[in-house]
Amino acid sequence: MNMINELFKLKPGADETMRINDDRMEGGRRLGENENPYLSARRTWNDHMRGIQASRTMWQILALLCLLIALAGVGGVIVIGSQSKFIPYVVQVNKLGEAVAVSRADIAAVADQRVVHASVAAFINDLRMVTPDIALQRRAIFRAYAMLSNNDPATAKANEWFNSTEASNPFKRAETQTVNVEIISVIPQSPETWQVDWLEKVYDRQGHLTEPPFKMRALLRIYNKPTTQSTTEEQIRNNPLGIYIQDFSWSKQT
């Protein structure tokens, strides 16, 4: 019993809790520990496996980094390869074949005010007209939608105008009425906003006025959209200048 107490008795002058020294000596023994071949072999094996695990983890991290770098490189090559290497130009020549103007064809130029004037007037006419000729009516609707983009408020308003009631649906309305639109004036209020005044006449199928002609006024906000790689050939044919209606509102004038 006295021998056991002596083993657990602190050495004189020790003021800290006894700690086991984890330092290894040659052969896998701790300091102050008797030689034990079984414990030494186990500790040596554990140290060996710990080193292998650390080395494997390091190589796994390195391989993952290399894979990420390779993926980024392949993605960059794909993006660069998908870009056009050719820049189209339009060259205007005179009667003698001399170049008088050169411009890039992939960048939309600012449309002339007269062209915007005609485009805005045509949009109102196509949106408001009603004709018994189904083919002519369809072409008018397609021309109007060619100046609309899916994400703009004007598209939602056009959908509501054509489909909200039978009175506004041009195909249903054409069964009993026709509508003639006469543009009176197209005036720019700002570089992006235009005011259109027109006279609207409603006829029955016999050609008689169903009500007195009335004046309408609309405010349209426009913008110029340049062509991109996603622009289709059909979009270029229907709207070659890229003039789009962002928003519009109209009202009947008294």
Q: Which amino acid is at 251?
A: S
| Chain mean pLDDT for the chain | 82
Q: Which helix (H) or strand (E) holds 223?
A: strand 214-224
96-125 pLDDT, tens digit each: 777 767 777 666 566 678 889 999 999 999
pLDDT at 43 > cutoff 60:
yes
Domains and CATH numbers, the chain: 113-253 (3.10.450.230)
pLDDT at 234 > cutoff 70:
yes
25-38 pLDDT, tens digit each: 555 556 666 677 77
pLDDT at 200: 95
Nearest one of 113, 60, 85, 97 to 224, comparing CA atoms: 113
Pairwise pLDDT comparison (109 vs 78), residue with the higher score: 78
What phi and psi values does residue 72 have, to the nearest 5 degrees? -65, -40
Contact 215, 197 (CB under 8 A): yes
Pairwise pLDDT comparison (218 vs 53), residue with the higher score: 218
What phi and psi values does residue 203 have, to the nearest 5 degrees? -115, 155
DSSP string, 135-193: HHHHHHHHHHHTT--TTSHHHHHHHHHHHS-TTT-HHHHTTTEEEEEEEEEEEESSSSE
Question: DSSP state, 37?
Answer: H
Residues in Cβ contact with 38 at an 8 Å cutoff, skipping those fewer than 6 apart: none
Tokens standing for residue 146:
């060619």
What is the SS3 string spanning 40-76? HHHHHHHHHHHHHHHHHHHHHHHHHHHHHHHHHHHHH
Strand-pair partners of 90:
103
Report the pLDDT averaged over residues 29-55.
76
Strand-pair partners of 33:
none
Distances (CA, A) of 122 to 142, 167, 171: 12, 22, 19
The SS3 assignment for 4 reads helix
Q: What angle do CA 221, 226, 231 make, to 5 degrees?
A: 110
Nearest one of 26, 28, 10, 30 to 18, comparing CA atoms: 10
145-198 pLDDT, tens digit each: 999 998 899 999 999 999 888 778 899 999 999 999 999 999 999 989 999 999
| Greatest Cα pair distance in the chain | 130
Burial class (CB in 10 A: 0-12, 13-18, 19+), 200: middle
pLDDT at 131 > cutoff 80:
yes
Residue 153 zone, left/alpha/beta (φ > 0; ψ -120 to 50; rest): alpha
